[in-house]
Amino acid sequence: MSEKIVVTSIGIISALGQGRKAHIDAFRAQQSGLRYPQHLKSKYADEFVLGEVRLSNDELSELVGLPTGDNGYTRTTLLALAAVQDIVNDAGLALLQNVPTAFINANTVGGMCTVENMYMEFIAPTAPEEYLKYIDTLDCAESTQRITEHFGLNAFSATVSTACSSSANAFIFGARLIKQGVVKRAICGGCDSLSRFTLNGFHSLKNVDKNPSKPFDQNRLGLNLGEGAGYVLLETESSAKERGAHIIAEFSGYYNSNDAYHPTAPSPDGAGAYRTMQKAMEMAGLQPQDIGYINAHGTATQSNDSAEGKAIENLFGSDAPYFSSTKPFVGHTLAAAGSLEAIFSMYAMEEQMIIPNLNFETRMEELNISPVASLIENVALKHVLSNSFGFGGNNVSLVFSKP
């Protein structure tokens, strides 16, 4: 039997702020981080509320010890550096450099946040040379390379890009590397920044709500986009105990699958989501009644919430565990969503609380279950499940257990 994989450190930044306290405080206050964007240059800046990180690029650069101004780093990479820096500060850079530590990074937008601002210059007969250094950032792996170089994490690196399930898949990749003895530890997670490309694309699909989203509500109108970065340090239980590290959670189960149903929509009956949750719990050795809380993917789009809600109801029955979508707090952060929401699930278990599904009012007609609409404290959570479902029916469920 393979050794337990555990989480020993977390780094996070989102529209709610940076670090554990900022997020826990916002959950307890039931205070959303959504607002009209201040940094995204979009004609829709005064129309759509977004989960934008408050810090400017210069402030992010200062936070991670980089020069301000045109430093060659995109906002995507800066957000990732800010989150990974927390893990480095906690675990110690020597620990991560002296033994094989993988860096598994998820991303979907790459440096589009920067390059799209230079489009007119790029298509000019002669592009200004100072802009050419950003061409490579359109590759999602560019941010991975920048981060590994910045921290000297040279043992193993990879980039995962499976739409909204990307960083959840990064967790699985990292755990498998450790179990197979390729590396001793792995920093896993993802990052994405807001861009006009993303906002315009989702708007064209008629999937974006101009007001704060209402996941699992009968009158939901779509999602709010967001940005951020979230990473965890994974290692074996024996490794953590050997160095006296605080164990945050056991990464007890996981599974990924694909509906192969439609390029953007999930299978309407939720069959893929059902199977993915079931197999993740099976790996963890758990029964449905063992799960105390589900952090649902919950995008507030018509197709996702219907399919995911049916899957939860079919698997758990009418007595389903507490569940909620935390996207009304930070927006849908795309590649970062899986890792951020997995972290939120672990926070809930640590704090023994159920994070509310903000803005919920009316139960969906096709469901007999509803998300938790208000904060609940002092709940004995031993096992939590986090769902991430991406375009193309790419489904991931992660299970975390109290150590």
The string of pLDDT tens digits covering residues 255-302 is 999 888 777 677 788 999 999 999 999 999 999 999 999 999 999 999
- Decide if 368 contacts 313 (C-beta within 8 A): yes
- Decide if 27 contacts 347 (C-beta within 8 A): yes
Structure tokens at 151: 């921290």
Active site residue 150: no
- To the nearest whole percent, how much of the chain has pLDDT over 90? 85
Question: How large is the average pLDDT for residues 100-123?
Answer: 88
Neighbouring C-beta atoms of residue 123, cutoff 10 Å: 8
Question: How large is the average pLDDT for residues 354-375?
Answer: 98
The three-state secondary structure class of 48 is coil
Candidates 39, 203, 332, 383; catalytic one: 332
CA 337 to chain centre: 2
pLDDT band at 1 (very low <50, low <70, confident <90, very high): low
Could you tell me which CATH number the domain at 5-242 has? Answer: 3.40.47.10
- The contacts of residue 117 (CB under 8 Å, 6+ apart) are 41
Candidates 140, 164, 188, 191; catalytic one: 164
pLDDT band at 65 (very low <50, low <70, confident <90, very high): very high
Neighbouring C-beta atoms of residue 378, cutoff 10 Å: 8
pLDDT at 127: 67
Choice among 133-147, 224-238, 321-335 with the minimum mean pLDDT: 133-147
- 374 vs 112, more confident: 374
State the average pLDDT for the chain.
94
pLDDT at 7: 98
Domain 253-401 fold:
Peroxisomal Thiolase; Chain A, domain 1 (3.40.47)
Identify the CA nearest to 82 among candidates 400, 355, 346, 336: 336
Active site residue 262: no
Active site residue 297: yes
pLDDT at 264: 66
Neighbouring C-beta atoms of residue 116, cutoff 10 Å: 18
Q: Domain limits of the chain?
A: 5-242, 253-401
5-242 with 253-401: one CATH topology?
Answer: yes
Cα dihedral angle (225, 333, 108, 135), rounded to 10 degrees? 70
Helix (H) / strand (E) containing 88? helix 75-91
For residue 116, the number of C-alpha atoms closer than 13 Å in the C-beta half-sphere is: 17
How many helices (H) and strands (E) in the chain? 15, 13
The three-state secondary structure class of 397 is strand
Is it the case that residue 338 has pLDDT exceeding 60?
Answer: yes
Tracing tokens 């450190």 back to the chain, one arrives at 9
Is it the case that residue 14 has pLDDT exceeding 90?
Answer: yes
Candidates 23, 39, 150, 297; catalytic one: 297
Q: How far apart are CA 160 and CA 231, in angstroms?
A: 13
